Chains A and B, each alone.
Chain A
Amino acid sequence: MKKNNPTMSSTECRDLGRALCIITGASRGFGQTIARNMSRLVKPGSVLVLVARSGDDLRALQAELAESEAGRVGLVVECVVADLGQPDGLEAVVRRSQESFSEDLDHIILVNNAASLGDVSRYVKSFTNMAEVDSYLSLNVTSSLCLTASILQAFPQCPGLRRTVINITSLCALQPFRSWVLYCTGKAAREMIFRVLAEEEPDLRVLNYSPGPLDTAMKSFSDMFAQGQLLTCEESCAKLMKVLLDDNYTSGAHIDIYDL
């Protein structure tokens, strides 16, 4: 019986196919780890489209992946330096994805990972400035909704083409925490977007994955929830990859690393 180890090379039988995988917030933290793990789980000829606002960090990751084993056997890595809150940013990602697509790809994977914490020191009563709230929702909610809708429109349902949409969510999508109104509200909103999507498109695989408190720049989160027990991005990402490979989650479900 073949060993079930998702971090082995693509010669193992479990993989995510010949995929076009778009990852937002790919320049650092969990997004960067997802990019690395995806690169090992997709077949040669696959394409990763890495999206972030930081060009330098993205290009460094692109170089790293090009030199990796996956890169050497034919993984294509594209970088799109873009602000997904702007129409031209969003269009750039869709266009690059369309340009990178070829008929022999059998899987579209969209990872909505980019997000921000917002000011987690302030109570509801301090948010009298509507523009501040608008700006937060634009980055954290609107951009993921519009990007997902645009990608699904660009890559419609088609025989032989699997489509998977992942939303990186949080315990904060389900539970309110004082002084965290923007983050909780944004996560609750995002999670509902993807739950509706799952209901609406039964052929789509939709996953709301809550990665747990990670050792990333989004440190306040970790400090609050981890009580010293931080997870590495690798640990959490390995679990995410296993869920994707097993592919028996209910579409739209909220899966928390601690459930696994």
Chain B
Amino acid sequence: MLDYKSSSESPTPCNKPTKMSGKNTTNRKTLGRGICIITGASKGFGRALAHEVFHLLEPGSVLLLVARSGTLLQELKEEMQSFTDKQQLVVHCVATDLSTKEGVNETVKVARQEAVNEIDHVFLINNAGSLGDISGFESLTDLEKVNSYLSFNVSSPLALTAGILQVFPCRSGLRWSVVNVSSVFALQALPSWALYCTAKAARKMMFSVLAEEEPNVKVLSYSPGPLDTDMQEEIQRLTGLSYRLFPCQESAAKLMELLLDNNFASGTQVDFLEV
């Protein structure tokens, strides 16, 4: 059985940590002067990622927070405000529905407006996703329901990633990082979870192909572990199961560490529970 490791592992000048990870005044590694886009940023893991990432961005960086809820995004922006103001970070709240092409295009448009600035890192975190119907295979007879689920969970991150790649074409001196928020169920089949497993498997493959195509883009599929989110609350309510959940902050911090260390092979999947 073939594994999912991409063969395009060799580091390129754009990805050498010593060149591209800047150091701030306390000599910690940073994510450079970047444009960072986080989808599904209003709650759960996306929100925790926003809280982790802004500490690691250098002055002049831009953070795009994307979700449907303008209210929650604005709250998030205000939570970070004193730091982001001091650190000269620009934060944009993009309240839009990524299950629509208008939503994807709106996000790309906002990113494009920021393309005039001097940045050395484009950092896209495809986190937005949904659980879908987990009641069982035989409830999946409706074409529209399945199409709609795949559109949001597969087509949307593909189109968004493509759009952002076109706004910021690879060039020497530009570090490019893409994160796919994945799951153990991208690799493992779970009964009743056909939609979720299928979309996660599709995304894992999609981002692995990207890694094969673009040696200058560092691609990471990150499985964050079972977290204390609304999604897990729904899962536990629907299944009646109860199991340990990890704080989003812990998993988000682990992801940042992985990105700063930059030791993973592009296209691979890393699991929070195994690092």
Contacts and interface: CB of A to CB of B under 8 A. Distances in A.
B190 interface: yes
B211 interface: yes
- Among A125, A148, A252: residue with most chain B CB under 10 A: A125
B151 A192 contact: no
Size range of the interface on A? 35 or more
A193 B198 contact: yes
Given A124-B161, A176-B208, A176-B209, A145 B6 contact: no
A179 B202 contact: no
Interface string A178-196: 1111001111111111011
Contacts of A248: none
Given A189-B201, A196-B198, A199-B189, A133 B143 contact: no
A142 B101 contact: no
A127 interface: yes
A217 interface: no
Contacts of B6: 176
Given A124-B209, A127-B162, A149-B141, A134 B194 contact: no
B267 to A, nearest CB: 7
A44 B130 CA distance: 48
B165 interface: yes
Contact of B159 (A129, A177, A193, A198): A129
Interface in B1-24: 1-2, 4, 6
Given A176-B208, A176-B267, A192 B166 contact: no
Contact of B146 (A146, A180, A192): A146
Contacts of A85: 143
Contact of B213 (A133, A153, A179, A186): A179
Interface size class of chain B, counting residues whose CB lies under 8 Å from the partner chain? 35 or more
B192 interface: yes
B154 A152 contact: no
A124 B202 contact: no
B49 interface: no
B77 interface: no
Given A150-B141, A176-B6, A124 B213 contact: yes
A155 to B, nearest CB: 11
A123 B213 contact: yes
A202 to B, nearest CB: 9
Interface string A210-235: 00000000000000000000000000
A185 B206 contact: yes
B140 interface: yes
A126 B213 CA distance: 12
Given A133-B158, A187-B205, A199-B191, 18 more contacts: A124-B158, A127-B159, A142-B150, A146-B141, A148-B137, A153-B138, A153-B141, A176-B209, A177-B212, A178-B213, A180-B209, A181-B210, A189-B201, A192-B189, A193-B198, A196-B191, A196-B197, A254-B1
- 4 pairs of A and B residues whose beta carbons are closest in the complex: A188-B205, A192-B201, A176-B208, A195-B189
